[in-house]
Chains A and B, each alone.
Chain A
Amino acid sequence: AQSVTQPDIHITVSEGASLELRCNYSYGATPYLFWYVQSPGQGLQLLLKYFSGDTLVQGIKGFEAEFKRSQSSFNLRKPSVHWSDAAEYFCAVLITGGGNKLTFGTGTQLKVEL
């Protein structure tokens, strides 16, 4: 069955430090992959997506992610974290057929220390 694993439940970084959030997926076909961010009391905002082509994708708010097929990974990165980046981050894989379903990981809670 298709699944997404986010190994880190909580991560704390200092403002200005670099960030990498890990995501591993299990999916038989070529995956469509996404990163979403959720602030407290809010819905999900799309940061970036990978469908095909260049394996390094750029998103909003200075985030980027790299698709590595050999490692079944799609890690999210940001060179310099801002305090406003504190939120929960979800990796998701799209399952096609029988609806356009996103399967989400359990999320990584990011805390930013000033």
Chain B
Amino acid sequence: DAGVTQSPTHLIKTRGQHVTLRCSPISGHKSVSWYQQVLGQGPQFIFQYYEKEERGRGNFPDRFSARQFPNYSSELNVNALLLGDSALYLCASSPTPDGNSPLHFGNGTRLTVT
């Protein structure tokens, strides 16, 4: 079975631009979460979606937004990019949004903002 897939694997953007990152969950998983991992730090929670509805949001500015589609795939959008947005963006899926449903992570998208 395919794991969580993310695209693209790497991308480079300029300050002020917009970026869209994509995630396909494991088949049968209906919950998708997004995390930001800055170099040298642990991942930080950005969003969780379940059945196309936002279930939780971390401490990130409104420049960050996301959505989930009927096939449970998800997009993370970041507007007005800042240098500090450079990070590895990780998507994780789980069958349900419950606490006892462990997250399965993708390999991430490495975003560099210049």
Q: Which residues of A contact B (CB under 8 A)?
A: 4, 32, 34, 36, 41-46, 49, 51, 90, 92, 94, 96, 98-107
Contact = CB atoms under 8 A, between A and B. Distances in A.
Given A32-B100, A51-B100, A94-B99, A102 B43 contact: yes
B1 to A, nearest CB: 15
B56 interface: yes
B44 interface: yes
A48 B55 CA distance: 25
Contact of B48 (A32, A41, A99, A107): A99
Contact of B103 (A46, A90, A98, A103): A46
Nearest to A103: B45
Interface in B1-34: 4, 31, 33
A43 B97 CA distance: 20
Interface residues of B, number: 31
Contacts of A106: 40-42
Interface string B34-64: 0100001111110110000001111000000
B78 interface: no
B42 A100 contact: no
Given A51-B100, A90-B43, A43 B33 contact: no
B71 to A, nearest CB: 20
A107 B55 CA distance: 26
A56 B99 CA distance: 20
Interface of B: 4, 31, 33, 35, 40-45, 47-48, 55-58, 90, 92, 94, 97-108
B88 to A, nearest CB: 9
Contacts of A45: 105
Pick from A32, A92, A101 the residue with the most CB of B within 10 Å. Answer: A101
A8 B33 CA distance: 28
Contact of B107 (A4, A43, A100, A103): A43
Given A41-B107, A98-B55, A101-B33, 7 more contacts: A43-B90, A43-B107, A46-B103, A51-B99, A100-B94, A102-B35, A106-B42
A106 B58 CA distance: 17
